[in-house]
Amino acid sequence: MAGNRLAGGGAQGPLSRRTFLKGAGASAFALGSVAVLPLFGTPSAVQDPRTCKAADMSARAKDLIVSNWPAYIDPPEKDYVSTLQLFEKQTGITVDYTDDVSDNAEFFAKVRNQLGDCQAIDRDIMVLTDWMAARVIDLGWVQPLERSKVQNLHDNLIPALRDRAWDPERTYSAPWQSGLTGIAYNAKLTKEVGSFEALLTRPDLKGKVTLLSEMRDTMAFVIKVTGGNPDDFTEDQWQDGLDYLRKVVRGGHVRAFTGNEYIQDLTAGNIVACEAWSGDVIQAQFENPDIKFVVPEEGLNLWSDNMLVPNKAQHQENAESWIDFYYDPKNAAQLAAWVNYICPVEGAREEMEKIDDSLVDNRLIFPTEEELEDTFDFMALDERQNQQYEGEWSDVTGG
């Protein structure tokens, strides 16, 4: 997601993601506040994917260009064949893989002129978080997937991710990895924080908590606290939540709105509790077992980073082969053993037993269906709402 995807691989596997990021420095993957993006109301920006498409060259050109987030795929190592290498070997397709998606808003700004004008962006797959995936699908910038070519997706996608209002049949999108937004606290410094309301109101936490700078992550919980449904809320419910948060901020309860740097403050004791992404907590627990992840009483925000085929992609069938490959449980398990986020593929947990049985029972990688039942998403916004809400969010948070 928009945030640092930190994790640890198994002891017997290749270089772990945790070790990689420790060496590279977490700041390389930090996220800034989401920018307020311009309103797209002009017809020229909205495209029809049925007509804004390129001839598919996959049959004669065994190439594929993928844009993903940094440190989001298992790297090749000595005596270890990565999933990307396996894909190339099995399909004969050569992959040009880049990790140039470091922020949803920045990537949108990079490609918006071309996609809005029905021009190619020289990519066959781009990986974007739910809210941005919803946005580009709504603008008509994404090609539908041929269902028969991605049958593994439809057979093996976990139930919790099957029904998204912005793409209910997964016609345009395929989750790459998923994660949870909840609460983390330092058990050495404070007692358990069991709800988001407590995080925002408990007197002993005043000035010692942080919230995420991602508007959708934080406001989903605030809307829950004030009685609304983040999956489907009204303008009045949005304003109620915003007013509530404004009072909390003005009262000095929140130390800061941050990207993933909150995890360093939590470990160091500069804060004692915070809104958190599950992958960051997995990372922190390797170094500090006092860092705990909590399922708030309000539930958990479940999100995904999604594979999308942009308009004018020249190798769609090759892209569909890539999606189908990663929805094979065996390949999904190998990827999850390094990435350590929620694996979106049914059957991968059983395959993980053959790879690293220490990860099989990690509920931040393989949560049960029951544990995912009480998750929620943030309502898809139209362009007018997006501009309004991001602006009002910035006024409250100082972003």
For residues 107 and 130, state if they share a domain: yes
Q: Assess if residue 270 is contained within a domain.
A: yes
Q: Assess if residue 55 is contained within a domain.
A: no
Place of tokens 């994660």: 179
pTM score, whole prediction: 0.82
37 in Cβ contact with 386 (< 8 Å): yes
Half-sphere exposure of 220 (CA within 13 A, CB side): 25
DSSP letter (8 states) at residue 338: H
Q: Assess if residue 52 is contained within a domain.
A: no
pLDDT at 200: 98
DSSP letter (8 states) at residue 142: B
pLDDT at 44: 62
Place of tokens 């605030």: 222
For residues 183 and 226, state if they share a domain: yes
For residues 199 and 92, state if they share a domain: no
Q: How many domains does the chain have?
A: 2
For residues 203 and 136, state if they share a domain: no
Q: Assess if residue 14 is contained within a domain.
A: no
For residues 252 and 124, state if they share a domain: no
pLDDT at 16: 42
For residues 256 and 389, state if they share a domain: yes
For residues 247 and 394, state if they share a domain: yes
349 in Cβ contact with 156 (< 8 Å): no
Q: Residue 262 and residue 114: Cα distance in Å, rounded? A: 35
Phi, psi dihedral angles at 27 (to 5 degrees)? -65, -20
Q: Tell me the average pLDDT of the chain.
A: 88
For residues 184 and 244, state if they share a domain: yes
* Structural domain harbouring 155: 63-172+309-327
84 in Cβ contact with 326 (< 8 Å): no
The rounded average pLDDT for each run of 10 residues, N- to C-terminus, in the chain (399 residues) is 37 39 36 39 77 97 96 92 98 97 89 96 96 93 98 96 91 96 96 98 98 92 97 96 97 92 92 91 86 93 95 98 98 92 95 93 87 86 88 90
For residues 153 and 265, state if they share a domain: no
Tell me which residue of 393, 282, 389 sits closest to 8, measured CA to CA. 282
Q: Assess if residue 136 is contained within a domain.
A: yes
Which tens digits make up the pLDDT trace of 250-264?
A: 999 999 998 878 999
For residues 207 and 158, state if they share a domain: no
Map residue 210 onto helix, strand or coil. strand
Q: Assess if residue 258 is contained within a domain.
A: yes
Q: Residue 264 and residue 224: Cα distance in Å, rounded? A: 27
Q: Assess if residue 26 is contained within a domain.
A: no
Q: Residue 174 and residue 385: Cα distance in Å, rounded? A: 25
Q: Assess if residue 114 is contained within a domain.
A: yes
Q: Residue 349 and residue 333: Cα distance in Å, rounded? A: 7
For residues 119 and 228, state if they share a domain: no
| CATH number (domain holding residue 289) | 3.40.190.10
For residues 70 and 146, state if they share a domain: yes
